[in-house]
Amino acid sequence: MKALLVTHGTRGDVQPMLALAVGLREAGHEVVLAAPESFASSAAEHDVEFAALDEGPNRLMDDPVVKAAVDGGYRGLKGKLAAVRTARRIKPLMARVLRDVGETARRSGADVVVHTPTLPAQHAAEMLDVPAVLVALQPGWVPTSAHPCPMVPLPRLPRFLNRATYLTVSATLRAYSGVVNDWRADGLGLPRRRRVHDLLHDAAGRNRVVLHAFSPQIAQTAPDWPESVHTTGFWPLRSGSWAPSGRLAEFLGGGPAPVYVGFGSMAGRQAERTGRIVADAVRDAGVRAVLATGWGGIASVSSPDVLVIDQAPHDRLFPLMAAVVHHGGAGTTAAALAAGRPQVVCPFVADQPYWARRAHAIGVAPVPVRQQDLTATALARAVTAAVGDPALSSRAEQVGREIRAERGVARAVAVIEEAAAQ
């Protein structure tokens, strides 16, 4: 079997698919990972064949309007207008990415196309006349009456309205229907069609296979999901032979286990302010910290109790920490869970508030501290609770054992094999 894996976005979108590519290869299959060009070195590190896609909307990560939308700088009517302007700018960038997806699919000779919702690669699968499998990295793509859509910030609603909340996600996808239909006609040689935005059904209306790449240990599942939906557990990517550098190793050995602080690719407009808040909170909580500046979001700080690094593999670094302070991305949440460490979640947007609420609900984190409410006092209080509450530590260790016992990638590979065979 030859599988074409297609994804786009930041590390949280690409890394699980890279883990799946490794799993497919180890199961004896050929695999090509199509992702933004900036991830070519990551694929090479794991010996995965790579097809570069245009960076597309990733180019907007440093845009002031996008940064303001991420950190809540625009509200009300101004926020809605900013969202409209951003969508207009994304569409031509998406067209470039879709062009590359079509060209990659033609060259791939794939027997199955596996993709995340960031790209409608099911249409490339239709061109090849092969099955398409959708990978959801967070709940919210498959409607249910059991709970409202986790990706939509809504007030508490009556249960009978739960399924209707998923229409918001559908409407967001529908906004790009014109670009996708143009791609079908001009790039793939397929006829235009209605409901081109529908990720969950093929052209004949049949349920498509969906892989939920997250753990039921933290995410809510639903009894009314169709049998085509498989919740496999998280897809961790093994980082190989990494070891702390001399400076990091010296810091780790120079005192009690520190707290990790990092907000991933959530590059807000207030990096300097966030850096000061972190430094003050670390001092007030009486802890040491490893601060990962990453792709923006936190400026470097100067403090003897804070070691600043760019980044490090979470699966190796987190087990060495006393607690993990992060933004609530699915991948970072999964790594902190697997490490068995208490968490402090400071969510920005999208699915992050959901993971923050769930981490608190299952007892591995104190009440979330939203980025809009982030102060040194609030962060210090949360960090103190995370490192000082024995119940949180015990529960985090228990959940960590359960997460590490999951075989998410292996289960996903089995589902893909069955889909391709059919």
Q: Hey, which bits of 154-222 come out as E strands?
A: 209-212
| Residue 281, SS3 per DSSP | helix
> What domains sit in the chain, N to C, each tagged with a CATH number?
2-234+406-421 (3.40.50.2000), 246-405 (3.40.50.2000)
What is the pLDDT at residue 146? 93
220 vs 5, 151, 261, CA distance in Å? 26, 13, 26
Q: What angle do CA 175, 206, 20 make, to 5 degrees?
A: 75
* Alpha-helical runs (H) found in 167-245: 167-174, 177-182
Q: Which of helix, strand or coil describes residue 229?
A: strand
- pLDDT in 10s for each residue of the chain, 422 residues: 999 999 999 888 999 999 999 999 999 999 999 999 999 999 999 999 999 999 988 887 666 555 555 555 444 445 444 555 666 778 899 999 999 999 999 999 999 999 999 999 999 999 999 999 999 999 999 999 999 998 877 777 888 899 999 998 888 899 899 999 999 999 999 999 999 999 999 988 999 999 999 999 999 999 999 999 999 999 999 887 788 888 999 999 999 999 999 987 654 556 778 888 989 999 999 999 999 986 555 666 777 889 988 888 999 999 999 999 999 999 999 999 999 999 999 998 888 999 999 999 999 999 999 988 999 999 999 999 999 999 999 999 999 999 999 999 999 999 999 999 98
Position 67 scores a pLDDT of: 55
Give pLDDT, residue 311.
Answer: 83
pLDDT given at position 69: 53
Q: What is the rounded CA–CA span in Å between residue 228 and residue 419?
A: 10
